[in-house]
Amino acid sequence: MRKLNYYSPSSQEKLTVLQKYANIEKDLEKNETLFISGDIVHSFYIVLLGKIMLHKPTADGREFTIRICKQGDIIGEPHFLTTPTKHLLHATAVERSKIFTISIEKLPELFSNESKFMLYLLQNVSKNAIRDQMKLRDLVMYGKKGALYATLIRLANSYGQTKETGILINTSLTNQDLANFCGTSRESINRLLSDLRKNNIISIENSRILIHQLAYLKETIHCEECPIDICTIH
């Protein structure tokens, strides 16, 4: 797959630059909430350690996981270019995590002093917007099946290890986790995974998903072969 050609600092470079403007550091326990939908935006956040899940509750009580933010990722970047507003998503720690905050009021200083880094931030907003559009495409055009197949492809790009018989998604996932990524019920995911196993598209190896026929998943949803920078779960 082709790579996007943009300025992409390492996680450590991002942290070194942004920590100069940080207000506070905060430790989060597993399942602790950073903010919820409707909270007023005062700051944006950078992940120092751990993982933070961005998600949205649905009207019927389900959860829709948008993405998982890892070390060096920025949370809240859509608000860089808007007046103070409200968060649209929930942010919750997937595991013990540490973040630091930068006040929105410091953005003019940050952009003035770190012009090259400002370009990265804007590109990051664009990249995440494209990811969200592709997820919407998969769900709207191909339904629950398309959402699951696309999620498996993204997980393979993020955590995949090549084996003799396929690609092992080397991370722990429950069927409920997959349902949250797809915005559907666990029961629906159970049925879809069962069909994939019966047809030898996937199997389960030590509680991990092993994809035997990645091409089948891609063909079914007419995969557009997005760059891996876009086609990830993060």
Where are the chain's structural domains?
11-130, 133-220
Fold of 133-220: Arc Repressor Mutant, subunit A (1.10.10)
What φ, ψ does residue 28 adopt, rounded to 5°? Answer: -125, 130
Residue 83: pLDDT band by 50, 70, 90 thresholds?
low
Residue 71 has pLDDT above 60, yes or no: yes
> Is the distance from CB of 232 to CB of 164 less than 8 angstroms?
no
Say what the pLDDT of residue 126 is: 83
The DSSP string of the chain is -PPP-S----HHHHHHHHHTT--EEEEE-TT-EEE-TTPBP-EEEEEEES-EEEEEE-TTS-EEEEEEE-TT-EESGGGGGSSS-B--SEEEESSSEEEEEEEGGGHHHHHHH-HHHHHHHHHHHHHHHHHHHHHHHHHHHHHHHHHHHHHHHHHHHHHEEEETTEEEE-S---HHHHHHHHTS-HHHHHHHHHHHHHTTSEEEETTEEEES-HHHHHHHTT-----TTTSS--
How does pLDDT run across 105-152, given as a tens digit for each residue? 888 888 888 877 777 777 778 888 888 888 888 888 889 999 999 999
Length of the chain: 234
Domains 11-130 and 133-220 share a fold: no
What does DSSP assign to residue 97? E
The CATH homologous superfamily of the domain defined by 11-130:
Jelly Rolls (2.60.120.10)
Residue 93 has pLDDT above 70, yes or no: yes
Instruction: Give me the percent of the chain exceeding a pLDDT of 90.
Output: 48
Tokens of 41: 């935006």
Residue 78: pLDDT band by 50, 70, 90 thresholds?
low
Say what the pLDDT of residue 6 is: 43
How does pLDDT run across 3-15, given as a tens digit for each residue? 444 445 566 776 7
Residue 202 has pLDDT above 90, yes or no: yes
| Cut 0.75: pTM above it | yes
Residue 225 has pLDDT above 50, yes or no: yes
Say what the pLDDT of residue 3 is: 41
Q: How far does Cα 106 stand from its chain's mean position?
A: 26
